[in-house]
């Protein structure tokens, strides 16, 4: 009995030790993430004021805001989503409907999932060579194109996943009524999976709203107001990057404010996507 009790106590002890270590790991992770959010909100909100939305990015030492960068980011993200979403939805539809078991789909899925996590800076290099070199200028269009390449895989993945959730009974019912496959897809499966597909687009927007690396040498930056798509354009991520790396106090504040704006946008979009998904499920 004595011997057994020793083993028993040892097992209880190691159980306690490892569980405490796990809890400490959780604490460790949560502490750092809270610290980041805390300093982001503290520094961000103390730098956020009406000027941020009213004035252009300033020269060093002057007062200013981020309005041109905000608008530039909105323009490029908008273009990227408008151009990338249809491609993503169509490709996702092929993977889930026409080509569900096709050999080609296997490759497309594989490559798509790699593009999903591929280094975004490499996508910037690609667009630089294809567009910036040929147009001989950095441009908003090139920036939008690189963001579009990031949007497509996200939309493809969610579209396929959502279409796969649509019960086959629905497809069979439509087919039994004599609907051609394209009508079946557009009127039945797309409609059944709509909430999920919108979720995918929201997540794609969230994904690109903080993307910096591919914009550094496609959209570049612009200190002034510009909506010309063939010219360099101001955008939040690159402004944050340049302002944060500068030695000027005023620029640092604007960088924090910009980072806060991006984070709020991303969190808002992710929460909206989540709500949409759960409202669909219930």
Partner 1 sequence: MVDVALSGVTVPEHKVAAVKRGSAGDVRFRALTLAASVLVLAVFAGVMLSLAMGAAPAIKAFGFDFLTTQYWNPVTEKFGGLASIYGTLISSVIAMLLAVPVGIGIAIFLTEICPRPLRRPIGIAIELLAGIPSIVYGIWGLFSFAPYFQENIQPWFVDLVANVPVLQDVFAGPPYGIGIFTASFILMIMILPFISAVTRDVFDTVPATLKESAYAMGCTTWEVVWRVVLPFARTGVVGGAMLALGRALGETMAVTFVIGNAHHIASSLFAPGTTISATIANEFTEAVGDLYRASLIELGLILFFITFIVLASAQIMLRALEKRAGGVQG
Which parts of 98-127 interact with partner 1 (CB under 8 A)? Answer: 98-99, 104-105, 107-108, 110-115, 117-123, 125-126
For residue 187, state whether it binds partner 1 (rule: CB under 8 A).
Answer: no
Enumerate residues 27-46 that contact partner 1 by CB under 8 A.
28-30, 32-33, 35-37, 39-40, 43
Q: How far is residue 213's CA from residue 217's CA, in Å, rounded to a whole number?
A: 8
Nearer to partner 1 (CB atom), residue 54 or residue 268: 268
Cα atoms in the 13 Å half-sphere on the side-chain side of 19: 6
CB burial of residue 112 (10 Å; 0-12, 13-18, 19+): buried
- Sequence-ordered list of residues with C-beta below 8 angstroms from that of 223, at least 6 positions apart, any chain: 56, 57, 59, 68, 234
15, 46, 168, 227: residue in contact with partner 1 (rule CB under 8 A) = 15
* Least Å from the CB of residue 242 to partner 1: 11
Number of residues this chain uses to bind partner 1 (CB under 8 A): 97
What are the CA-CA distances from residue 250 to residues 48, 96, 192, 246, 256 (Å)?
12, 51, 50, 10, 10
Contact indicator for 235, 215 with CB cutoff of 8 Å: yes
* Least Å from the CB of residue 188 to partner 1: 14
Tell me the helix, strand and coil percentages in the chain, rounded to 5.
Answer: 80, 0, 20
* Least Å from the CB of residue 68 to partner 1: 18
For residue 139, state whether it binds partner 1 (rule: CB under 8 A).
Answer: no
66, 149, 193, 204: residue in contact with partner 1 (rule CB under 8 A) = 149
One symbol per residue from 61 to 100: x for binding partner 1 (CB under 8 A), - otherwise; what is it?
-------------------------xxxxxx-xxx-xxx-
68, 77, 209, 235: residue in contact with partner 1 (rule CB under 8 A) = 209
Eight-state DSSP code of residue 189: I
For residue 10, state whether it binds partner 1 (rule: CB under 8 A).
Answer: no
Nearer to partner 1 (CB atom), residue 230 or residue 278: 278
- Sequence-ordered list of residues with C-beta below 8 angstroms from that of 135, at least 6 positions apart, any chain: 141, 142, 230
CB burial of residue 252 (10 Å; 0-12, 13-18, 19+): middle
Nearer to partner 1 (CB atom), residue 31 or residue 54: 31
* Least Å from the CB of residue 273 to partner 1: 9
Nearer to partner 1 (CB atom), residue 24 or residue 54: 24
The tokens 């920036």 sit on which residue? 143
9, 23, 59, 167: residue in contact with partner 1 (rule CB under 8 A) = 23
Enumerate residues 216-275 that contact partner 1 by CB under 8 A.
216-217, 220, 237, 240-241, 244-245, 252, 255-256, 259, 262-263, 266-267, 270-271, 274
Q: How far is residue 262's CA from residue 58's CA, in Å, rounded to a whole number?
A: 19
């Amino acid at each position: 009995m004595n011997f057994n009790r020793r083993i028993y106590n040892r097992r209880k002890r190691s159980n306690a030790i490892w569980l405490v270590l796990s809890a400490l790991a959780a604490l460790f992770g949560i502490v750092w993430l809270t610290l980041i959010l805390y300093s982001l909100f503290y520094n961000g909100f103390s730098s956020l004021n009406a000027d941020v939305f009213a004035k252009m990015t300033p020269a060093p030492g002057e007062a200013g805001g981020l309005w041109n960068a905000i608008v530039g980011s909105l323009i490029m993200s908008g273009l990227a989503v408008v151009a990338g979403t249809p491609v993503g939805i169509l490709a996702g539809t092929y993977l889930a409907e026409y080509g569900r078991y096709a050999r080609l789909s296997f490759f497309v899925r594989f490559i798509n999932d790699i593009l999903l996590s591929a280094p975004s800076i490499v996508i910037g290099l690609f667009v630089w060579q294809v567009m910036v070199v040929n147009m001989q200028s950095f441009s908003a269009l090139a920036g939008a194109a690189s963001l579009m390449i990031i949007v497509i895989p996200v939309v493809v993945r969610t579209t396929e996943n959502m279409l796969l959730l649509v019960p086959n009974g629905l497809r069979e019912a439509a087919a039994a009524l004599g609907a051609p496959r394209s009508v079946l897809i557009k009127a039945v499966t797309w409609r059944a999976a709509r909430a999920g597909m919108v979720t995918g687009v929201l997540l794609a927007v969230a994904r690109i709203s903080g993307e910096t690396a591919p914009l550094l040498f496609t959209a570049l930056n612009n200190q002034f107001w510009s909506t010309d798509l063939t010219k360099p354009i101001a955008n939040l991520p690159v402004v944050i990057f340049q302002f944060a790396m500068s030695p000027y106090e005023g620029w640092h504040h604007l960088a924090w404010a910009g980072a806060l704006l991006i984070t709020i946008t991303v969190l808002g979009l992710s929460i909206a996507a989540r709500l949409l998904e759960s409202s669909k499920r219930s």
